[in-house]
């Protein structure tokens, strides 16, 4: 049996950070285990390759949600990254921290040490931002965060038009003030994706004290009583065990982490007995509290021949690919979202509760990533802090069988009401004088959809995940918690969780930046226990 001081399960965003930071200490050994491969395919490096990875099982677990009446009994594709960098290798590159109040709420829930002032140094530590205030932005961190260089003329019209609605221009939505309209910041460097692998893991695996086991599946955690001591793994149909001298750190994400805990005997005993798992430690909250952003989009056909639709096929696409390989510019260097906004669904609330994305392109309804054959524009929206909660549940003692993923989108009426307002605001943003002059008609949902009930039915039929799964191993100090504020699993020894599953509530934005922050803080918590 191989022995290591620390074993990191998963080489995604959090696993890459923790492997890097722990291996900075030369006299400790770190093993990182990854079910996928190296993820160095051109689809990964090309920012626009995002579209190709969404349903490709080489890079993606390609989960599906359980059917749910609130979304008209649809199964929804639920991508999760597989391979070095995890979901940071297949995401939409957007770097969004959230609002200070998001993290202050974590602290108010009893998670002391997780207020905005507490975690801001970790956001700064992880990033290298081209421009930004030294008070709030990092300058010399491993992760490169860039501004959009090529600003599409339609995006410029969209921003100018928003001024008619009294929307302010936000210079840096990651500075502590989100509200307004802006160009998104991206984890893109020199026109290519810059994942957590590029920023953190690539350096770490060159160190002598790091062992990487790729294409290796963790089957279960080994416990001696309440102490986690090792893992049962499989590679090339061969099963073997590895031992942790100090800790096992779970970084398998909001789906993978609770799933692994459940098949290892940690969860609701009634559920574990039903699926043939020998119970080890009861915590009924493992897998509960799943949250995700649920998005819908409004699209217009336009009369200009310069949307992205016209460049995405035939010889024009070939030229764009050549341009990217030669200069790292053009269509292939674009993120799926260009312009964003954080706005309030009602003037009575204190903070923005809707996030918007705008793209100078339109997509075929019901087909992921397929552009329409005519010029178009799209404005998407989701509720920043949804109240609906779901769950993750293993269906077998075999971890290779997918778990039930039930986000319970739109379960709470407030989520329905806010998204209805979000669709209305999308329409307003697409009906300013600057956009009206280039619009032909609304293609999605279509101008026949008018009443609140009609909009809600459209939302139920057409919404999809934004790939922001969190909360399934909640951090806290109450009866609903799985881990404490030091990220140690309650009631167990030598095991922590350090990924998006620990978030007690949803940050107001894309979740990758927050996940990297969690991993940075977790690394310091682990190092503190060494002293």
Q: Note the pLDDT tens digit of each residue in 65-84.
A: 999 999 999 999 999 999 99
Model confidence band, residue 197 (pLDDT cutoffs 50, 70, 90) = very high
For residues 408 and 290, what is the distance between their CA atoms, to the nearest angstrom? 9
For residues 528 and 517, what is the distance between their CA atoms, to the nearest angstrom? 17
pLDDT value at position 204?
A: 98
pLDDT value at position 275?
A: 97
For residues 171 and 150, what is the distance between their CA atoms, to the nearest angstrom? 17
Nearest Cα neighbor of 231 from 261, 208, 258, 202 is 261
Joined together, the tokens standing for residue 320 give: 């764009």
Average pLDDT over residues 499-518: 98
Model confidence band, residue 365 (pLDDT cutoffs 50, 70, 90) = low
Sign of torsion over alpha carbons 409, 460, 415, 510: positive
Nearest Cα neighbor of 355 from 439, 286, 250, 429 is 429
Q: Note the pLDDT tens digit of each residue in 142-151.
A: 999 999 988 9
* Contact status, residue 173 vs residue 180, Cβ threshold 8 Å: yes
Within 310-412, where are the H helices?
314-327
pTM passes above 0.85? yes
Place of tokens 């995405």: 312
Active site includes 293? no
Q: Note the pLDDT tens digit of each residue in 315-346.
A: 777 888 888 888 888 888 888 899 999 999 99
* Identical topology for domains 1-144+193-290+388-403+471-531 and 149-183+294-385+410-462: no
Angular region, 471: left φ>0, alpha ψ -120 to 50, beta rest = left
Joined together, the tokens standing for residue 372 give: 């329409």
Sign of torsion over alpha carbons 363, 366, 369, 374: negative
pLDDT value at position 229?
A: 98
Q: What angle do CA 158, 163, 168 make, to 5 degrees?
A: 105
Q: CATH code for 149-183+294-385+410-462?
A: 3.30.410.40
Average pLDDT over residues 262-282: 98
Q: Which helix (H) or strand (E) holds 262?
A: helix 253-263
Residue 269 CB: number of other CB atoms within 10 A? 15
DSSP bridge pairs for 138 = none
Does 3.50.50.60 match the CATH number of domain 1-144+193-290+388-403+471-531?
yes
pLDDT value at position 164?
A: 94
Residue 229 dihedral angles phi and psi, to the nearest 5°: -120, -15
For residues 376 and 271, what is the distance between their CA atoms, to the nearest angstrom? 48
Q: Name the residue ranges covered by the structural domains of the chain.
A: 1-144+193-290+388-403+471-531, 149-183+294-385+410-462
């Amino acid at each position: 049996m191989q022995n290591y001081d620390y074993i990191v399960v998963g080489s995604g965003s959090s696993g890459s950070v923790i492997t890097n930071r722990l291996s900075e200490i030369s006299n400790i050994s770190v093993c990182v285990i990854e079910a996928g491969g190296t993820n160095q395919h051109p689809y990964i490096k090309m920012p626009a390759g995002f579209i190709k990875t969404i349903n490709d099982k080489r890079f993606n677990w390609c989960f599906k949600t359980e059917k749910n009446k609130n979304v008209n009994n649809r199964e929804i594709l639920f991508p999760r990254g597989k391979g070095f960098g995890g979901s940071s290798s297949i995401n939409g590159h957007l770097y969004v921290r959230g609002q200070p109040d998001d993290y202050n709420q974590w602290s108010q829930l009893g998670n002391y040490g997780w207020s905005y002032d507490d975690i801001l140094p970790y956001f700064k530590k992880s990033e290298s931002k081209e421009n930004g205030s030294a008070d709030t932005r990092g300058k010399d961190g491993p992760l490169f965060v860039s501004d959009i260089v090529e600003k599409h003329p339609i995006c410029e019209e969209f921003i100018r038009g928003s001024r008619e609605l009294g929307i302010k221009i936000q210079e840096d939505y990651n500075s502590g003030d989100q509200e307004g309209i802006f160009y998104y910041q991206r984890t893109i460097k020199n026109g290519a994706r810059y994942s957590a692998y590029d920023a953190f893991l690539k350096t770490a695996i060159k160190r002598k004290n790091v062992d990487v086991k790729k294409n290796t599946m963790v089957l279960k955690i080994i416990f001696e009583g309440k102490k986690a001591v090792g893992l049962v793994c499989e590679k090339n149909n061969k099963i073997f065990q590895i031992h942790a001298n100090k800790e096992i750190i779970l970084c398998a994400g909001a789906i993978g982490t609770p799933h692994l805990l459940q098949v290892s005997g940690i969860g609701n005993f009634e559920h574990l007995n039903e699926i043939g798992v020998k119970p080890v430690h009861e915590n009924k909250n493992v897998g509960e509290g799943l949250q995700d952003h649920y998005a819908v989009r409004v699209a217009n056909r336009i009369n200009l021949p310069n949307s992205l639709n016209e460049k995405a096929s035939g010889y024009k696409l070939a030229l764009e690919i050549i341009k990217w390989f030669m200069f790292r510019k053009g269509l292939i260097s674009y993120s799926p979202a260009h312009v964003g906004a954080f706005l309030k669904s009602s003037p009575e609330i204190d903070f923005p509760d809707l996030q918007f994305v705008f793209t100078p392109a339109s997509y075929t309804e019901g087909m992921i990533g397929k552009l329409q054959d005519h010029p178009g524009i799209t404005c998407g929206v989701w509720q920043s802090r949804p109240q609906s909660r779901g769950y993750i549940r293993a269906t077998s003692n075999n971890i290779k069988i997918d778990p039930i993923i039930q986000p319970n989108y739109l379960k709470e009426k407030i989520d329905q009401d806010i998204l209805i307002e979000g669709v209305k605001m999308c329409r307003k943003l697409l009906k300013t004088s600057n956009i009206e002059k280039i619009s032909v008609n609304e293609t999605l949902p279509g101008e026949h959809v008018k009443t609140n009930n009609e909009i809600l039915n459209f939302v139920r039929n057409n919404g999809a995940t934004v790939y922001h799964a969190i909360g399934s191993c909640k951090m806290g100090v109450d009866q609903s918690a799985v881990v404490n504020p030091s990220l140690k699993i309650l009631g167990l020894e030598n095991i922590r969780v350090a990924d998006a599953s620990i978030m007690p509530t949803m940050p107001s934005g894309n979740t990758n930046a927050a996940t990297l922050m969690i991993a940075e803080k977790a690394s310091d918590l682990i190092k503190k226990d060494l002293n």
